[in-house]
Structure 1
Amino acid sequence: MTDTAPRRTDLWAVSPADVTTPEALELLREYYYDVANRYYRLHLGREGTPEELESGLADSPSDDLTAPDGLFLIGRHDGTAHSCAGLRRLDATTVELTRVYVRPGLRGTGGGARLLAAVDEAARSLGAERIVLDTRLDLVEARALYLRHGYQEIPAYSNGPYAQVWYGKELTAPARPAS
């Protein structure tokens, strides 16, 4: 049976947030556990242990997602925090997108689309003309989301252990209202 119900993106609101708040830290922990456990299941045939996951989380700080060269966004569905994304400046015109996460129970409700629209706005506010990101090949849902929202595969710009595919998006100036 195909779900034909309209997506209620109006239930989603995205705004900048302090990356050190309890709700931001909770979302970042869920994000990390989600992507890390997918890796463990794919490559090791098991879930990560709590010690492995906490150690990995500690080795992946998000404290650079703050002004003046970064930004953290939280998406709220019907008022409750359920998604996040971060931006960090790489150079004068380029920002890197990272920590993109929508809680599994709300995937497919338009939250990813609303989050990426807010990312574009936030990137422009940082003076960016381009957004880049790296991800893993097994994160197929995220990769499909990026492609649906104007990202294209680009040559590697980073060499982290989990960077397997790279995407970029050129930002156009926002449309000006007719006068």
Structure 2
Amino acid sequence: MTNNAPRRPDLWTVTPADVTTPEALELLREYYYDVANRYYRLHLGREGSPEQLEAGLADSPSDHLAAPDGQFLIGRHDGTAHACAGLRRLDATTVELTRVYVRPELRGTGGGARLLAAVDEAARTLGAERIVLDTRLDLVEARALYLRNGYREIPAYNGGPYAEIWYGKELTTLVQPVS
């Protein structure tokens, strides 16, 4: 998809959100429909039926993206929710990034980078030193976004049914200048 929207990262803000709000649920539904339909088109040559998509969405709850061991973020472009990402703690120093989504019409405007910068900060607040994620090979925009933002390919850390490639990012501690 070609995006003609101007690249204006200053129009993006990212804040923590309750994963159960209507706004969050709408973004999560769009995310799921997007990645599921890509899978259906690639492997079955068709879109998923509404029944299949809703059943899959019901089987993929996001309630683990809430405190105390997770966090959900919403990205707003010019005040309107258009992106999301979630984190969940895997262990004392590692969180998993999941549900990363920017609406297609706003991809390429700087929202993904803003979202991932906020993810880094959220991960630190959860005590993480490392972020990991898995994704599919056909999600090329997401893979490019991760690589542009400091993620590197790592060995598999899980056996998810749709995991085809794994990425990780070490978080550096921000050093406060001495006054």
User: Normalised by the size of structure 1, how large is the TM-score?
Assistant: 0.96
Q: Distance in 1 between matches of 2:5 and 2:63?
A: 39
| Aligned position for 1:134 | 134
Q: Distance in 1 between matches of 2:87 and 2:147?
A: 18
Q: Distance in 2 between matches of 1:115 and 1:175?
A: 22
Q: 1:59 to 1:93 in 2, by over 3 A?
A: same
Q: Distance in 2 between matches of 1:44 and 1:175?
A: 50
User: Cα distance, 1:122 vs. partner?
Assistant: 0.2
User: Cα distance, 1:4 vs. partner?
Assistant: 10
The correspondence of residues 5-154 of structure 1 with structure 2, limited to 5 A, is 7-154=7-154
Q: 1:4 to 1:99 in 2, by over 3 A?
A: closer
Q: Distance in 1 between matches of 2:19 and 2:174?
A: 27
- Unpaired segments of 5 or more residues in structure 1? none
SS of structure 2 residue aligned to 1:46: coil
1:162 matches 2:178? no
One-letter amino acid of the counterpart of residue 113, structure 2: A
Report the count of equivalent residues: 177
| Cα deviation 1:24-71 (Å, max 9, x = unaligned) | 000000000000000000000000000000000000000000000000
One-letter amino acid of the counterpart of residue 10, structure 2: D
Q: Distance in 2 between matches of 1:136 and 1:82?
A: 22
- Unpaired segments of 5 or more residues in structure 2? none
| Cα deviation 1:92-111 (Å, max 9, x = unaligned) | 00000000000000000000
User: Cα distance, 1:6 vs. partner?
Assistant: 6.4
Q: In the alignment, is the contact (CA less than 8 A) between 2:5 and 2:109 conserved in 1?
A: no
SS of structure 2 residue aligned to 1:116: helix
Q: Structure 1 runs of 4+ off > 2 angstroms?
A: 3-7
SS of structure 2 residue aligned to 1:39: helix
Q: Distance in 1 between matches of 2:6 and 2:78?
A: 16
Q: 1:93 to 1:108 in 2, by over 3 A?
A: same
One-letter amino acid of the counterpart of residue 110, structure 2: G
| Cα deviation 1:116-173 (Å, max 9, x = unaligned) | 0000000000000000000000001100100000000000001011000000000001
One-letter amino acid of the counterpart of residue 51, structure 1: E
User: Normalised by the size of structure 2, how large is the TM-score?
Assistant: 0.96
**Root-mean-square deviation (Å):** 1.5
Q: In the alignment, is the contact (CA less than 8 A) between 2:5 and 2:106 conserved in 1?
A: no
